[in-house]
Amino acid sequence: MLQRAFEAYQSGKPQQAETLCREVLAKTPEDEVALLVLAMSLDAQQRSDEAMQLFEYLTVISPDQAVNWTNLGTMLRSAGQADKAEQVFRNALDRDANEITALFNLGSLSFEKGSYGEARALLLRALALAPDDANVRVLAVAACFECADFEQTDRLIADWERWATQDVTVLTDLGWTLTRLTRAEEAGRALEMAARMMPHNTRVDLRRAAFYERTNRVDESRTLLNQIPQEALDRVGLGIDARVLRADLASRGDDLDGARRLYEELVANPELVRRDPQLPSQLARVCDRLGDTEAAMKWLVHGRALHLAQLRERAPQVFADGADPLQIIRQPLSAEQVAAWKPVQAPLAEESPIFVLGFPRSGTTMLETMLDAHPLLASMDERAFIQDVVDEMHKSGFNYPFDLGKLDDAMCMRLRQTYANLVATQAQVDPSLRLVDKNPLNIMRLPLIARLFPKAKIILALRHPCDVVLSNFMQTFRAPAYIAMCATIESTAQGYADTFDFWINQAAVLAPNVLELRYEDVVDDIEAQSRRLAEFIGINWDERMVNFHERAKDRGFIGTPSYHQVVEPINRRGVARWEKYRAYLEPAIPILRPHIERWNYTT
């Protein structure tokens, strides 16, 4: 009879299954199989309370069976009782540490709470037990990303079109993670595939709307978001995500007061801020644009404290004794060491990348977009390819930077090919065009650039140091070491000073071919500075360089925090912004003064 009951349940006849189970239970009231099938049948009839009582009863009469706790936890989670469900799933894992459904659900709950470190550990355990489960894999990818475990993220996400394309939810969640990984082409492809599989799906449409905002298709984002009923968003648990997107969109238009109200409502939810610690900083930037510097700084400090607290959980190694986010610049090369370098053949300037670097938030994205607008040049999304080459050098048994002089022609060619292969995997760059590699932090890797591409044109982006420090403090970056460096305004200023001390020292030793461009000069006379830029590179000036924001709109995705700024015509909003915050920056000014004076700025 139990077999008939189970077959009835599987055939979509839960009422018949219920009747058969009750006949069995009338004779044997504690038959666990009958109780389980009855509970499942009641759940299928949407009699959830009755079903949950039976699932709970099973944990009483057979408490050592992990599956009973897992079934109860699943019911509790479906009923919105997340806290109870979490404890029940932990009970299941106490009975069986490899109960995969409990691992996945507990990992998912931890992710939803913003406990990304625990989520990552649980989901990787689940994935090891079920490597072909796409639902487990896609959430493990997202958890690794949130923990800044980018190597693991890339490994898990590889070949996603093989494992992710059969399930619309998996595709949608993967598309959003790809967006945040700045893999825009793949993200768009995944989300469009999901939309074709299930048109007008609430989850798909919301993620597509967020993708459009992130790729500067703001009008399309607003239109699609406005087409999604709020009750549908709330029903699938995405109402808050939609409110975040509405705030983001409001901040990109003229309704800054509305954006402030929306962000203030969002940051009032501590669980949401734990999940998304960038929200206080986003509110701070809106307050800044409204001229409310006191509120802006209050939210910046609050957001930074939350972000650092999370970082201590996710990446404790960043705060270990002796940890140094700027370790790479602590070992400068001497003139004697460089003079002893083994001679090697070097590519011409025209055969080398054009490097755009500087301290972050100095205008490097603006310069890159200006160059990308020229028909003879092509840029790519910001990537750490030079650091990847440093890593390859280490793998080959060479110590960076002191063994740079030991590299012979063959090794230099191999490392250049490593760089070229990396570019080819991430950027569709026409080989007839000259490549622009914009990564501000390459300022810390000048010795490698000088060894592999000694004739390369390098553009050093400069901006008033106080504006740079303030802007960095206002951003929420992804790299754990950089977040730690920007813990306070003073620590950010010290990071700036240390970086430029290194640059000045190494530029004197290595004599790179550098053009210094001040952000303020570009803003004041973009045509004159773009002509300087073209002349330095050795190409004819093109008027499209002046209207670079139009090119930025065409590019869509720009993988930096300033993605929403470079699609606007050039303006002076970012010039001397620090003066409004002078009181907060006073402790940093003595640290910055040598560089303020060096670059001919004033305080």
| 113-166 tens-digit pLDDT | 888 889 999 999 999 999 999 999 999 999 999 888 888 999 999 999 999 999
What kind and span of H or E run contains 437?
A: strand 434-438
How far is Cα 103 from Cα 95, in angstroms, rounded to an integer?
A: 12
Report how many helices (DSSP H) and strands (DSSP E) the chain contains, helices first. Answer: 34, 5
Structural contact between residues 463 and 518, judged by C-beta atoms closer than 8 angstroms: yes
Strand order in the sheet with 434-438: 377-379, 434-438, 354-358, 457-462, 513-518
Find the mean pLDDT for residues 357-371.
93
Q: Which CATH class is domain 327-598?
A: alpha beta
Find the mean pLDDT for residues 556-583.
67
How far is Cα 51 from Cα 9, in angstroms, rounded to an integer?
A: 14
Phi, psi of 499 (to 5 degrees): -65, -45
Q: Which of 307-311, 405-409, 431-435 has the highest mean pLDDT?
A: 405-409
Q: Which of 167-181, 241-255, 504-518 has the highest mean pLDDT?
A: 504-518
What angle is formed at CA 557 by the lines to CA 556 and CA 558, rounded to 5 degrees?
120
Q: Which of 183-197, 303-317, 451-465 has the highest mean pLDDT?
A: 451-465
pLDDT at 562: 47
What angle is formed at CA 407 by the lines to CA 444 and CA 440, rounded to 5 degrees?
15
Structural contact between residues 377 and 436, judged by C-beta atoms closer than 8 angstroms: yes
3-state per-residue secondary structure call for 485-526:
HCCCHHHHHHHHHHHHHHHHHHHHHHCCEEEEEEHHHHHHCH
How far is Cα 170 from Cα 193, in angstroms, rounded to an integer?
A: 11
How far is Cα 224 from Cα 230, in angstroms, rounded to an integer?
A: 12
Structural contact between residues 32 and 43, judged by C-beta atoms closer than 8 angstroms: no
pLDDT at 99: 95
Residue pLDDT, tens place only, 63-102:
999 999 999 999 999 888 999 999 999 999 999 999 999 9
Residue 428's pLDDT band, with cuts at 50, 70 and 90, is: low
Greatest C-alpha distance within the chain: 93
pLDDT at 563: 46
- What one-letter code names the amino acid at 307? H
- Does residue 564 carry a pLDDT above 60? no
On whether the pTM is more than 0.85, the answer is no
Task: Provide the token pair at 78.
Answer: 């479906």
- Does residue 312 carry a pLDDT above 70? yes
Q: How many CB atoms lie within 10 A of CB 573?
A: 12
How far is Cα 419 from Cα 272, in angstroms, rounded to an integer?
A: 40
Q: Which residues contact 561 (CB under 8 A, 6 or more apart)?
A: 361, 475, 477
Residue pLDDT, tens place only, 460-475:
999 999 999 999 999 8
453 secondary structure, DSSP code: -
Q: Please tell me whether residue 26 adopts helix, strand or coil conformation.
A: helix
Nearest Cα residue to 437 out of 420, 417, 450, 454: 420
Q: Which of 304-308, 491-495, 567-571 has the highest mean pLDDT?
A: 491-495
Task: Provide the token pair at 390.
Answer: 């440093």
Phi, psi of 424 (to 5 degrees): -65, -30
